Amino acid sequence: MKKSTIQDVADLAGVSITTVSRVINKNYPVKESTRLRVNSAIDKLNFRPNLLAKGLIQSCTKTIGIITPSIENLFFSEVIKGIDSFIRPMGYSTILCHSEGDNKSEVDMIHNLLNRQADGIIMIDPRKENIDSGFIEDLSKSIPLVLINGFYDGVKCNYILNDATSGVIEALNYLLGEGCTKVTLLRGKHSYSYDIKEEVYRDFILKKSDYCKVLSIDEGNDLKSVNSAKLKVISALKEKKSAPDGIICCNDWMAVGALHAAKSLGIKVPGDLRIIGFDNTIISQITEPDISTVDQQMTILGQLAAKRIYTMMTTDDHEIQKIFLETKLIIRNS
Amino acid sequence: MKKSTIQDVADLAGVSITTVSRVINKNYPVKESTRLRVNSAIDKLNFRPNLLAKGLIQSCTKTIGIITPSIENLFFSEVIKGIDSFIRPMGYSTILCHSEGDNKSEVDMIHNLLNRQADGIIMIDPRKENIDSGFIEDLSKSIPLVLINGFYDGVKCNYILNDATSGVIEALNYLLGEGCTKVTLLRGKHSYSYDIKEEVYRDFILKKSDYCKVLSIDEGNDLKSVNSAKLKVISALKEKKSAPDGIICCNDWMAVGALHAAKSLGIKVPGDLRIIGFDNTIISQITEPDISTVDQQMTILGQLAAKRIYTMMTTDDHEIQKIFLETKLIIRNS
DNA sequence: TTGTAAGCGTTATCAT
DNA sequence: ATGATAACGCTTACAA
């Protein structure tokens, strides 16, 4: 059953390919009777228009690429659903790529999207190395690009950002208010969103206390991070006098790891140790105790990014914008 | 900065486009010196080959589509990672589509993939409606197609399947062996994998007991399913004499919901109620108690599917195959 | 209302 | 070792 082309349809309906194209795209008047003939030929041949040919001639594929570090962190899932909920009704499809946190893969995937003539790219939490190298900034000159939670001061791009500053500070204030004196930050490597949190943490904590300690695990977004966070926190908790009594974790997976670390050592949460996560994914609600966390409004984050890139693709507004979204500390029982 | 084409490169390097193509694809001998000239022109112009044009002429895009009901269920994430781990090293890219469990979306996405000239499609847990309507079986005649966990007896397709029969039976045997007398099954709608589990459950339980009860929630794969499972189980537990003392849940999210239901009613797990999940995602390890569950070897599942579709795409082996994968009950503390 | 023909950016075929 | 030219399947002036 070979694929049929617009020519086959034209032959069967006894019209020219131009007419077939007009019937398909409904962009020019076609006599009702021929329209019906063409449509029945389309059905009979099970004709499907070749989007490669269409995209080639129109230099527009109605496609946006989404690059995410992982599909195992519900933060990303929610953002992606937010993007889709806005952009698909506008007639666009999305190509979802997950880099597994590897900067080389990220570059490969972007090249692939460019080669496929994607109309725009949204990157969630881009890899630090690719921002530092200037790759991302260059990229944004050649295609509509929006970064979600990957802000770096000197880099000219379109950003949709959580106000991580306010999130970290809110969490810190809460922990200090509850009497914690040794609050540490648990982060992963290779992401600017972690860097920013760390920076805010350091700035703030040094004004209030002389305890300042950052724990770092390798990859923060895959499932292994639960266990690596656990191990890292266990060894921190075992240090006699410098053991933390409060931990701010850069995402909920790490917070689960921290919680398990405490449990395995018989340390009471929140009695002896307070834990705060980031993202407010459902993960933070299903542990015992459930975990206090910073809500980042992921769906809205995704929708804003989609809206912004839609504007950039459909108008000549290519300005650099930075859109901030509030975060909100959700107090639970950790 | 307009996109440059192979013609621009040819002009700059002072050769024909044919030579440029040869340099890019390394498929014909080219003199070293011209090769260097061409490559430097490519760099200078920042040339990227247009895959639409290439795909158009080669009728092959080195692309496979993956259709999944959800990106919020770690079962799917793991399967997808398994697929990618096999197929990307072979030079293929993947287009990931999530239908949110909607059969209409599923059809749209498949059409989109066909129009984009994907070389093959892997569907994870396809929607029941689209199998029943014959859509899927027709589809498999026009493109290499592999279904993961969506077997239906009369439908001629390539399948990679968990032996759900053995999983359910193992779970049932375990619960009955532990003294449960009222074991119920908790499932979602619209998926054959649920149907199969229900069928096995009914067949088996009716031989051993006169208690047979199936609880069903709407969508089983998104985050809301935790809460809908909880509500459903609460109302089941409240029924005086017919309240279950064992629940087999069709995935780990539902199992978490069931666990929360028991907790909210002060029912002890596993003392008064035993719960078994499906999938062995990390979710089942982070609750308290941690949840016994049926491991489905998701990574291998994905790899087998990728391997099978790769064979179908690269050889003329288009036979119908059914590949089964063992499941394994993991006993924890629920 | 319909048709003819040029062209999108590649690869493939056949020359040289 | 290199080049000219015809495809691939569609859209879009321009004609009729």
What secondary structure, in 3-state letters, does A212-234 show?
A: CEEEEECCCCCCHHHHHHHHHHH
Q: What is the Cα–Cα distance from B45 to B124, expressed in whole angstroms?
A: 42
Residue A212 token pair: 């300042």
Tell how far CA A206 is from the center of its chain.
31
Closest CA to the C1' of D11: that residue is A57
A127 in contact with B, Cβ within 8 Å = no
> Is the pLDDT assigned to residue A47 strictly greater than 90?
yes
Among the partner residues B78, B100, B114, nearest to A48 by beta-carbon distance: B114
- Closest to A123 measured CA to CA, from A187, A80, A154, A73: A80
pLDDT at B24: 97
CA A12 / C1′ D15 distance in Å? 24
- What pLDDT, on a 0 to 100 scale, did the predictor assign at position B152? 76
Residue with tokens 């074991």: B183
- The confidence band for A1, taking pLDDT boundaries of 50, 70 and 90, is low
Tally the C-alpha atoms within 13 A of residue A190's C-alpha that lie toward its C-beta: 18
In the block, residue with structure tokens 């053991």:
A243
pLDDT at A49 over 70: yes
pLDDT tens column, B103-156:
999 999 999 999 999 999 999 999 999 999 999 999 999 999 999 988 777 889
Q: Within a 10 A sphere around the Cβ of B234, how many other Cβ atoms?
A: 17
Report, as an integer, the average pLDDT of A211-225.
93
Instruction: Decide if pLDDT at A193 tops 90.
Output: no
Asked if residue A316 has pLDDT above 90, the reply is no
- Give mean pLDDT, residues A301-323: 93
The residue behind tokens 């190509």 is: A95
DSSP string, B302-326: HHHHHHHHHHHHHSS-----EEEE-
What is the pLDDT confidence band of residue B241, given thresholds at 50, 70 and 90? confident
- According to the model, what pLDDT value does residue A261 have? 97
Residue B129 β-bridge partners? none
Query: Looking at residues A78-107, what average pLDDT do you find?
Result: 96
Mutate to test the interface with B, among A58, A61, A116, A117 (most CBs of B within 10 A): A116
Is the pLDDT score of A85 beyond 80? Answer: yes
Model confidence at B82, pLDDT cuts 50, 70, 90, reads very high
Q: How confident is the model at residue A73 (pLDDT cuts 50, 70, 90)?
A: very high
Return the pLDDT at A18. 97
Asked whether strand C has any atom less than 7 Å from the CB of B27, the reply is yes
DSSP-derived secondary structure letter, A90: G
Size of interface A-B (CB pairs under 8 A): 102
The answer to whether strand C lies under 7 Å from the CB of residue A27 is no
Q: Which residue of B has its CA nearest to A92?
A: B112
Domains of chain B, start order: 1-48 (1.10.260.40), 164-295 (3.40.50.2300)
pLDDT at A131 over 70: yes
Q: What is the mean pLDDT of residues B187-195?
A: 89
Parallel/antiparallel/unpaired status of strands B322-325 and B274-279: unpaired
| pLDDT confidence band for B319 (50 / 70 / 90) | confident
| Average pLDDT taken over every residue of chain A | 95
Q: How far apart are CA B223 and CA B244, in angstroms?
A: 24
Strand C bases within 7 angstroms of protein beta carbons? 1-5, 7-13
Distance between CA atoms of A108 and B241, rounded to whole angstroms? 60
- Give me the B residues in range 139-158 that sit within 7 A (CB) of strand D: none
Could B117 and A50 be called an inter-chain contact, meaning their C-beta atoms sit closer than 8 Å?
A: yes
Tell me which chain A residues have a C-beta less than 8 angstroms from the C-beta of B282.
223, 226
Which of A254-263, A291-300, B8-17, B161-170 has the lowest average pLDDT?
B161-170
Residue A104 scores a pLDDT above 90: yes
Average pLDDT over residues B73-83: 96
B191 DSSP assignment: B
Question: Looking at residue A134, what DSSP letter applies?
Answer: T
- Helix (H, G, I), strand (E, B), or coil: what is residue B184? strand
Residue B223 confidence (pLDDT) above 70: yes
> What is the C-alpha to C-alpha distance for residues B107 and B127, in angstroms, rounded to an integer?
10
DSSP-derived secondary structure for B113-174: HHHTT-SEEEEES-BHHHHHTTHHHHHHHHS-EEEES---TT---EEEEE-HHHHHHHHHHH
CA distance B213 to chain A (A): 26
